[in-house]
Structure 1
């Protein structure tokens, strides 16, 4: 029996809810605002500048009207090639064929076949750096990085939200959590930032809202309402302002942040959603906690793929590339999957060993992947972090080395260049209070990674 379920009324497949309101996109007319001339500036020169600007705009618009779709594609392709050439030339060492190689890598990335073998270069780590602040008095629950790796965003159980400069290890902007009679978030359970850094989005367990902030200033923009329970997971589709949200109410919702509007709902999970991820394709991948399933939601095809493999609650799912992903849970398993296979390509039992007190598998509470490479990481509730190498065709996981901290490893992420691994540590698990580790520090830990020199 196929695990590819299509949306039909006669079948027991997923249900989709579409927004009943039709949204009509209309092009807005460009308004040219005249600026007030300075006292030291002549009015004549200002009028001349405005006239020249208007003429340039008219010429550009006339060119666009006369341009055919094929000519437009050629023009945009040339512009993109020029942009890549400039970026490659800005690097310290400009190699011959760098542009061709980058275009080939982008093609493979789009097809889900890009795999850089770099994990074997990682041999050890330097002394971890701890970041603490008064906005994070409770357990760190979530982390996210800007696409350029310059800024780190963190959230905690006391509702605090902080923007950090990763280079200087300093706070840039903060949002305080909710107190008795004040406004604010009660508990930040998830964070994500758009590729362009325009929007930072947080899920608040107290209000059940999705809160949208300015990525630069952390100024609050809007609350998105629709979920009936805690928002547990958020992700932006790459290079877009399309937002996917997962909730304890078992639904996935799609939002358009350009219009700050709800788009549709996706149903299928039988338990609260614990994690969500997405890349460039118009689809999202989710883990359903105690329902024991991972689901890939194909938005355009109105269908879903269902994967079964874990024996307990699935805590996290993370894409390695467009065709492969990693999962973990309280059963102690670490699994690598392919989108076309119903069963895991490989599975490591007791990946973090067993708990000495009850002889149960050690709960894996977080994972991270360095996109389009063979390097992944996993974190456990006992503070252990392990780095792994994905073998050929993703059919094996080989351990590299371990990092030992104290507390729940609630969040993990690699910097885009792969030089640092960042962990969010807490005394409690990000979604509950089943255990507490009093000795743990509620902090963000930056772990510099040591690599061997490559030619």
Structure 2
């Protein structure tokens, strides 16, 4: 170890020779390093050696120098040359010799000698390390802000930095709740509700999703095609600025059409009748002359999901394929179809801030993909029936609705585990399938039903037979809806719902020839939440979308507004573009919206317009349900609905 240490070039010190030394320079040896107080035991002995050489330092430094000299002399005892006694180090004076051991003869820059970060890491305490990392993080924030906005970092407000730190901590813990409901300007005027053009899809619209910056809208249909719209005029409009002259102009404009691909049978028929076509030439688009073959889904598209950066669009198809589209710019290009599922892919969801995609299928499995590399990661098992819906947020967790198995499952992908929450009422069949006692809980349930039937008081409660949709409020709270018309609020610490809203969308009454007027609950067809917010939306087929507010303790919720939406609401999405700071537009952070504050330097760059804070509700409405055709409304319209709700 000592040979490796002394083989490196080290700074040396010139010493003024006296007559007592014999007038001859010492021969180089390992013990020579001890004269300069240099030792191989670490930086503490090295600093002590410097104090001993100078003779002006503290007694501790002198002792360190003498100790370092003795250690080095012991290690270099075999070296040749004349050695000096330890008392010579005490009598040596820097003022008399005129040389300094730190400056004289040094071949390294002063900055490298004074830095010493690599050698002094062993002496850094955990508290000092935390302080240094915090200072580095703050300096990084100031540098990023200076590069983005072009103003001096000294103008940053310390309160803003504190809010940013608090926001980062809350986002990583998954417990950030935005008080957005109190800032919404209600009721919603009709001038803030927009619809897609009439000429669009040829089939029923199954899903609609908007990019997180509020610039683009995508819709899918049972015809297997995807339409891309521009929302520039919608996101920049407000009720106060709208006029009657602009009311007739379309706010949502179509920019791209990603059509359906040919199925295998259609491709075989095309090859069979190829002799009737002309010779293959360049793609001209003319009939019979080298037409371009479309790439995409070959069957119905049931769901859409957009990545957080807005570059990748994912689509779930009845053809068992997950489509990946590059939607940068005004167009859309097919990248690849991801397989693996053995049945219909019913629902998909991106993990916030990443390109990880969760998919659920009728084959009762959940799969995880990484769309940055278009690769498969893992498969999760557990449901006993086809999975109807899936949702995910920032953490490595997902929530699924199991349909007829009446369960909501909370998946922890990192731990490879799951939590099971059971909806519906008790029954002997379910208890036997679950492995419990046959009569456990059934007698009490039947007694309650018998008492309700005898008393005939209060509203009729419908038994939940299927859990059809789920949505995550935060990383530990979720919502579910099913065919009983109830919306349940769940927490991962409780096995039962902490709050239930019965008949959230009312009862549908229809006449029967034998039973008279029969009332059935309108089932919940779609749920959507503002991530980590206190607002969520629900949809059914009663002709309206209902907005709900979650209380501060996250223990209950209540209705605050409705949006007219005739027909079946097949999908819902809530987004607030102005609350999400991006590289292109820097606006007020989410935790300042509830306070009504403004961020210094938080406006957009020079030349950009300031974006108003608003909550955008995106819904896909259709004449028939997303997964079937057992009901149909002739008066409804197929398309997407966008409602812009301004905030105070």
TM-score, normalization: structure 1?
Answer: 0.77
Alignment partner of 1:383 is 2:383: no
- Give the aligned partner of residue 58 of structure 1: none
Deviates more, 1:442-451 or 1:375-384: 442-451
CA 238–363 in structure 1, closer or farther in 2 if over 3 Å, else same: same
Alignment partner of 1:420 is 2:616: yes
Cα contact 1:126–1:447 (8 A) shared by 2: no
Structure number with higher strand proportion: 1
Cα contact 1:282–1:299 (8 A) shared by 2: yes
CA 256–434 in structure 1, closer or farther in 2 if over 3 Å, else same: same
- Give the aligned partner of residue 172 of structure 1: 255
Give, in whole Å, the separation in 2 of the partners of 1:393 and 1:239: 26
Report matched runs for 1:50-449 at 5 Å: 78-80=139-141, 82-83=143-144, 97-122=159-184, 123-127=186-190, 128-132=193-197, 134-168=199-233, 169-178=252-261, 181=266, 183=294, 184-185=296-297, 186-205=299-318, 207-216=319-328, 217-310=331-424, 311-357=464-510, 358-416=518-576, 417=578, 418-449=614-645
- Give the aligned partner of residue 59 of structure 1: none
Cα contact 1:141–1:190 (8 A) shared by 2: yes
CA 437–178 in structure 1, closer or farther in 2 if over 3 Å, else same: farther
Report the count of equivalent residues.
382
Report matched runs for 1:34-53 at 5 Å: none
Cα contact 2:210–2:618 (8 A) shared by 1: no
CA 105–228 in structure 1, closer or farther in 2 if over 3 Å, else same: same
Query: 2:521 is paired with a residue of what secondary structure?
Result: coil
Q: Which runs of 5+ in 1 are unaligned?
A: 1-65
Give, in whole Å, the separation in 2 of the partners of 1:334 and 1:85: 47
Shift of 1:100: 2.0
Query: 1:421 is paired with a residue of what secondary structure?
Result: strand
Query: 1:356 is paired with a residue of what secondary structure?
Result: strand
- Give the aligned partner of residue 433 of structure 2: none
What's the RMSD between the two structures over aligned residues? 2.7
Deviates more, 1:277-286 or 1:75-84: 75-84
CA 140–95 in structure 1, closer or farther in 2 if over 3 Å, else same: farther
CA 347–79 in structure 1, closer or farther in 2 if over 3 Å, else same: same
Give, in whole Å, the separation in 1 of the partners of 2:384 and 2:391: 19
Shift of 1:76: 6.9
Shift of 1:256: 2.1
Give, in whole Å, the separation in 2 of the partners of 1:286 and 1:442: 27
Q: Which runs of 5+ in 2 are unaligned?
A: 1-117, 122-128, 234-251, 267-292, 425-463, 511-517, 579-613
Query: 1:98 is paired with a residue of what secondary structure?
Result: helix
Give 1 or 2 for the bigger CA radius of gyration: 2
The one-character-per-residue Cα deviations of 1:310-338 (angstroms, maximum 9, x if unpaired) are: 42222211111222112112110111111
Give, in whole Å, the separation in 1 of the partners of 2:146 and 2:409: 39
The one-character-per-residue Cα deviations of 1:137-193 (angstroms, maximum 9, x if unpaired) are: 222211222222222222111112122221232222221235784754221111112
Shift of 1:433: 1.3
Shift of 1:415: 2.6
Query: 1:425 is paired with a residue of what secondary structure?
Result: strand
Query: 1:124 is paired with a residue of what secondary structure?
Result: coil
